[in-house]
Chains A and B, each alone.
Chain A
Amino acid sequence: MSDNTLSRPVPVTTEPPVARAALIGLAILFVALFLFAPLVTVFAEALAEGWRGVRAALSLPDARAAIGMTLTIAAIAVPLNAVFGIAAAWAIAKFDFTGKAFLITLIDLPFSVSPVVAGLMLVLLFGANSTLGGWFIANDMPIVFAYPGILLATLFVTFPFVARELIPVMIEQGPAEEEAALTLGASGWRTFFTVTLPNIRWALLYGVLLCNARAMGEFGAVAVVSGKIRGETATMPTMVEMFYNEYLSVAAFSLAAVLAMLALLTLLLKSLLEWRHADLLAATRRH
């Protein structure tokens, strides 16, 4: 009797099909309503006046300046944060020192601090009413309401992405391979480039892509320090808001669509790499 029940295939789900269909349907409805529909709306609004409208909107000097600004910011912030992120993760994962827990908390700080507060901190630190800010302004190097402020704000909010992605991977791998390389006579740099870096490259890529997406999309902190000077200190997200407030909805949504496209491109790149190198990925990264 009991042999019979064991030999028959037992379905893993015991819920009635109706309940299963309802749950799956609910999930699909949720995804369609809250993820897919808004994305489609952005593109639909952008194309309200056809491709010509989009082309005209994107050739506005302000829109082009904003696109150039955002890409330049991302091109500077992402490599810098990649370097800092690797250094931080390397120190935390491979070495023991006092204050390690504090350092980890510090790295997480930008995640927990609201971006608006991050922006205001920069204004307080580098604004005209602080000693430091006063000195910079007196020497004709304004930080807030100028390009450096926007860069600093972006660097701040995107700082944890690379480090946070690397730390678990590096801790899991442990220091054994590096120690082996060192005992075989490899120098520190050689160890890093031939042992550590190949081991973390997928996690690093992940972190860089996430960091990039956030760097291009950051609004709160940047809006506080930008000073809203058109064509000069406006990034894509802030320009989207400005266009929208000026009743230029085609321009606003065209720029929003470009931003969404950049994000989708990032995701596509990530998926493509995962698909091409699935086996390698499985070997080095397990979540």
Chain B
Amino acid sequence: MYRTIQISGHTLAQGTFVRSLGDGRIEIDAGHARLSGRPIATRNTSETVNIQSAFRKTLTGGQLRGGLLAAVAVLGLTFSGSGPAAAQDGVEILNVSYDPTREFYREYNALFTAWWTAQGNAPVSIRQSHGGAGAQARAVIDGLEATVVTLALSADIDQIAERTGKIPADWQSRLEHNSSPYTSTIVFLVRDGNPKGIEDWDDLVTGDVQVITPNPKTSGGARWNFLAAWGYAKQKGLDPAEFVGDLYKNVPVLDTGARGSTTTFTQRGVGDVLLAWENEAFLALESLGEDAFDIVVPSVSILAEPPVTLVDGNITSDAQRAAAEAYLEHLYSAQAQALALKHFYRAWDTSAAAPEDVARFPEVNFVTVEDFGGWPEVQPKFFGDGGIFDQIYEE
């Protein structure tokens, strides 16, 4: 019998039924591998699952009296198939990530769960949360129970480590390449044909150019934007504070996250140039048409290293720790690196990647955050309360 199973949060697999594992999960033969997970569909089973999940939700709601339960259960039934992947007994990973990684992690989660179960491990359910890196870090500090965080820059993870103690201070040395399995840089996305003739950073401070960038207080990408502009001004011997100040005078709207800025620029049609993550710029080209926008690579940009780490304090079991550690380590595997390259990240290992995914990246003259003294120094100096950004923006 041909069945569909749910391996993790949003990953489905299909194959012929092999056996029932007795705990509600079944094993199927998907052709390339044997996979196990919860069966989907067949009215009866999905209905029972949803009554359970509706009751579970209501009970955790803790708000309810008698008769309402029935109404809620009926609602749960009517919208069957909706309940959150009901893997109560399995291992769950909550990956709290920043904005532009949505597409990458959607595919990586499928890749990882398939690989993880193929290794003979119990299936793991992966849940995703995306938002501006600063806002996401804030949510983890306020109690969002992230298993792993994959944010835009190490300063946000430092904040979590410092304020909650759930991550050791030396977290960044736990994985290779400063715990950054992929890197990116900042480029300009301009409207088709580059009508304003924007070629480099100094074209952004002239009077008639509108620049779109998110708020450095809440967005990691925006902080990289800021430092890249600062780095350019320093290399050219200009006064960096004045240069960056002039640049922010041309910013009509500060969104909270990188993806918000991208939609402001691409879909709402505001602004002449978007300071964007390179991967975000490529994605906009791919999703919205090559003929709508052009990418301009400035003479100087910054090497952006978005790091990943385990939130040790939120780990509830050894099984969860093992799965979460494997989840992060597998990001460095050739397949995952190829996937990162496919999603326009500059990854380290190109061995399994398609040649066109590697060839697409132009040469960039990089400055790094180490040139500024590293994030522990940069974060308070530039973006802390009353820091350089505040002083510039108040003018």
**Residues on A facing B (Cβ under 8 Å):** 61-62, 64-65, 67-69, 71-72, 75-76, 79-80, 123, 126-129, 133, 137, 141-142, 144-148, 151, 155, 227-232, 242, 244-247
Contacts and interface: CB of A to CB of B under 8 A. Distances in A.
A75 B72 contact: yes
Contacts of A71: 75, 78-79
B330 interface: no
B259 interface: yes
A128 B76 contact: no
A228 B79 contact: no
B92 to A, nearest CB: 10
Given A64-B81, A129-B142, A227-B129, A148 B9 contact: no
A246 B61 contact: no
B54 A230 contact: no
Contact of A75 (B10, B68, B85, B287): B68
A148 B62 contact: yes
Nearest to B82: A68
A262 to B, nearest CB: 13
A68 B57 CA distance: 11
A147 B61 CA distance: 7
Contacts, number: 113
B63 interface: yes
A128 B83 contact: no
Interface of B: 9-10, 54, 57-58, 60-64, 68, 71-72, 75-76, 78-79, 81-85, 94, 99, 102-103, 127-131, 139, 141-145, 164, 259-260, 263, 283, 287-288
Contact of B142 (A75, A128, A231, A246): A128
A242 B145 CA distance: 20
Contacts of A244: 263
A interface: dominant SS: helix
A61 B81 contact: yes
B63 A76 contact: yes
Given A128-B141, A231-B10, A75 B129 contact: no
Contact of B288 (A64, A126, A247): A247
B25 to A, nearest CB: 18
Contacts of A64: 79, 81-82
B141 A129 contact: yes
B104 to A, nearest CB: 12
A72 B81 contact: no
B263 A67 contact: no
A229 B128 contact: yes
B367 to A, nearest CB: 29
Contacts of A147: 57, 60-61
Contacts of B144: 144-145, 227
B82 A65 contact: yes
A231 to B, nearest CB: 5
Contact of A67 (B58, B82, B287): B82
Name, among B102, B144, B164, the residue most crowded by chain A CB atoms within 10 Å (CB to CB): B144
A75 B102 contact: no
B103 A227 contact: no
A145 B78 CA distance: 25
A145 B79 contact: no
Contact of A231 (B9, B131, B164): B9
Given A146-B60, A245-B259, A247-B288, A228 B130 contact: yes
Given A67-B79, A75-B71, A231-B84, A144 B54 contact: no
A135 to B, nearest CB: 12
Contacts of A67: 79, 82
Nearest to B163: A129
A9 to B, nearest CB: 54
Contacts of A137: 143, 145
Contact of B61 (A128, A144, A148, A230): A148
A44 to B, nearest CB: 16
A151 B9 contact: no
A229 B62 CA distance: 21
Contact of B10 (A61, A141, A148, A245): A61
Nearest to B266: A247
A230 B9 contact: yes
Nearest to A124: B142
Contacts of A133: 143
A232 B72 CA distance: 17
A126 B81 CA distance: 31
A244 B141 CA distance: 27
A228 B127 CA distance: 10
Given A137-B145, A151-B63, A230-B10, 14 more contacts: A69-B82, A71-B75, A72-B75, A75-B72, A76-B63, A79-B71, A126-B143, A128-B164, A129-B141, A137-B143, A151-B61, A227-B139, A231-B85, A245-B263
A242 B71 contact: no
Nearest to A80: B63
